Structure 1
Amino acid sequence: MAHIPATLRYDVRDPFAVRMSFPAPATLEGVAVSWTFARDLLSSGVSSPAGAGDVRVKPYGYDRTVLEFHATEGTAIVHIRTGELRRFLAETTDLVPVGEEASHVDVDADLEELLRDAC
Structure 2
Amino acid sequence: MSTVIEQAVEARLIASAPRMPTIPATLSYDARDPYAVRMAFPAPATLEGVDVSWTFARELLAAGVERAAGEGDVRVRPYGYDRTVLEFHASEGTAVVHVRTGELHRFLQRAAALVPDGCEHLHLDMDGDLAELLRDAC
> Do the structures match in fold with TM over 0.5?
yes
Larger strand proportion, structure 1 or 2?
2
Q: Which residue of 2 aligns with 1:106?
A: 125
- After TM superposition, the structure 1 stretch with the greater mean CA deviation from structure 2, 78-87 or 106-115, is 106-115
Q: Distance in 1 between matches of 2:134 and 2:40?
A: 28
Q: Out of 71, 76, 79, which is 2:95 matched to?
A: 76
- The RMSD of aligned alpha carbons is 0.8
Identity of aligned pairs, percent?
A: 73
TM-score relative to the length of structure 1: 0.96
State the Cα distance separating 1:114 from its structure 2 match: 2.3
Q: Distance in 2 between matches of 1:63 and 1:35?
A: 23
Deviation track 1:72-97 (CA, whole Å, cap 9, x = no partner) reads: 01111111111111111011101100
Q: Out of 46, 50, 56, which is 2:65 matched to?
A: 46
TM-score relative to the length of structure 2: 0.83
State the Cα distance separating 1:12 from its structure 2 match: 0.7
Q: Distance in 2 between matches of 1:6 and 1:70?
A: 17
Q: Which has the higher contact order (CA 8 A, sep 6+)?
A: 2
Q: Which residue of 1 aligns with 2:81?
A: 62
When residues 115 and 33 of structure 1 are mapped into structure 2, their CA distance, relative to the original with a 3 A threshold, is farther
Q: Distance in 2 between matches of 1:110 and 1:5?
A: 33
Structure 2: 5+ residue runs without aligned partners?
Answer: 1-19
Q: Distance in 2 between matches of 1:114 and 1:69?
A: 30
- After TM superposition, the structure 1 stretch with the greater mean CA deviation from structure 2, 57-66 or 106-115, is 106-115
State the Cα distance separating 1:4 from its structure 2 match: 1.1
Q: Out of 22, 37, 43, which is 1:3 matched to?
A: 22
State the Cα distance separating 1:116 from its structure 2 match: 2.2
- For 1:43, give the aligned amino acid: A
3-state secondary structure, aligned to 2:31: coil
Q: Which residue of 2 aligns with 1:22?
A: 41
Aligned length: 119
Q: Distance in 2 between matches of 1:43 and 1:95?
A: 15
State the Cα distance separating 1:118 from its structure 2 match: 1.8
